[in-house]
Amino acid sequence: MTEIAPDADIKPAATILLLRDDPAFEVLMVKRHHQIDFASGALVFPGGKSHAGDHDPAWADHTLGFSDFDAEQRGLRIAAIREVFEEAGILLAAHTDGSPMGDQIAPLDVRQAVDRGETAFLDVVKELDAKLDLHALTIFARWITPPLTPKRFDTWFYTALAPADQLAACDGRETVDAEWIEPAEVLRLAEAGERKVIFPTRMNVQLLAEATSAADCVARAQARTLVTVLPKIEDRPEGRVLTLPVDAGYGVVAEPLANVM
């Protein structure tokens, strides 16, 4: 894993590539609200910043696999699960007796209260008599925002298999649509200019599209050596470009800077 020096201005974040194979190999993506200040109107994976509540020691009694991860990974995985709950209504968890969660996890107003910080996610999980499944997540990638914008994030991308008995529905605030879509179709829509797909999302969809199924994607992620992606700016004869580490799994990338600003 590539080590990056800590920077207080870089905020930890987590996102999930939630996958299914029925009716086809698809990933869950949400459309950001046009009034959101980051990636407004873009097609993205559910995700967001880590919160203090994601690191509450009390999660030890309400998660599966708590002791198998260090404090950083526990908090990031809980953050990723919380974000997909808030934005799409899906909970990667099981009831304490091991039974599945069912198709309706929580009303929209409960999800929105968690998003606004009015209700603790931990309290919702307790009320549902559930335990979050931290082992359901496999690390897919890690990206750190280059110093181009005022807001910088250290984002961990995870992949997970979608629960077969749960339905996705957007929250109506940060996201205005939730859809299952084939990776190749995301790339086509982005290339045609029919949908806005920001550079990091597009690169990870491209990596995702190399897989043939949800299980294949998870297996590839498990086998891949994690290389932290910190894009760099280079001045070339054709202009300024953003480059990625060649060993990160994305191939040789030299994206015109105008395409990512």
pLDDT in tens, 114-143: 999 999 999 999 999 999 999 999 999 999
| Alpha-carbon gap, residue 201 to 131, rounded angstroms | 29
Q: Cβ-count burial of 185 within 10 angstroms (0-12 exposed, 13-18 middle, 19+ buried)?
A: middle
> What number of helices (H) and strands (E) belong to the chain?
6, 13
pLDDT in tens, 88-99: 999 999 999 999
Judging by DSSP bridges, how do beta strands 152-161 and 10-20 pair with one another?
A: parallel
- For residue 37, is pLDDT > 60? no
Average pLDDT of span 76-92 = 96
If we measure between CA atoms, which residue out of 155, 135, 159 comes closest to residue 217? 159
End-to-end CA distance of the chain: 27
| 140 within domain boundaries | yes
Q: List % helix, strand, coil for the chain (3-state, nearest 5).
A: 30, 25, 40
If we measure between CA atoms, which residue out of 156, 154, 135, 144 comes closest to residue 16? 156
Whole-prediction pTM? 0.91
- As for how many domains the chain has, the answer is 1
| 54 within domain boundaries | yes
| 206 within domain boundaries | yes
Domain range for residue 156? 10-229
| 207 within domain boundaries | yes
- At residue 1 the predicted structure's pLDDT band, cuts being 50, 70 and 90, is very low
| 38 within domain boundaries | yes
Instruction: Report CA torsion sign: 179, 180, 186, 189.
Output: negative
| 255 within domain boundaries | no
| 159 within domain boundaries | yes
pLDDT in tens, 8-35: 689 999 999 999 999 999 999 998 655 4
The CATH number of the domain where 150 resides is what?
3.90.79.10
pLDDT in tens, 163-190: 988 988 876 666 568 899 999 999 999 9
| 2 within domain boundaries | no
